[in-house]
Amino acid sequence: MLSIRLKPALERRLSRLARQTGRTKTFYATKLIEENIEDLEDRYLAEARLENRGKRYSSAQVRRQLGLDD
């Protein structure tokens, strides 16, 4: 179950769309989430990773660790 508060102008637009198309507001909210969740995950998870950076390694360190040095 999900409950959201929308700005009045957005609520009116959503209600008008639902009324004019014979679909529910829930249908459109679900559609928006399904079609955009991947982009949101990419963005916000990337931002979270940038904020919590772990130890950094140079390419030389990685090559050495993997035994790829010549």
Q: How many CA atoms lie within 13 A of 44 on its CB side?
A: 6
For residue 46, what are the CA distances in angstroms to 34, 56, 57, 60? 19, 16, 19, 25
Which pLDDT value is given to residue 55? 84
Residue type, 36: N
At CB < 8 A and 24+ separation, what contacts does 49-55 make? Answer: none
pLDDT digits (tens, 9 = 90+) for 1-13: 889 999 999 999 9
Which pLDDT value is given to residue 50? 86
The pTM score is: 0.63
Residue 43 DSSP one-character state? H
Q: Which two tokens stand for residue 22?
A: 């014979």
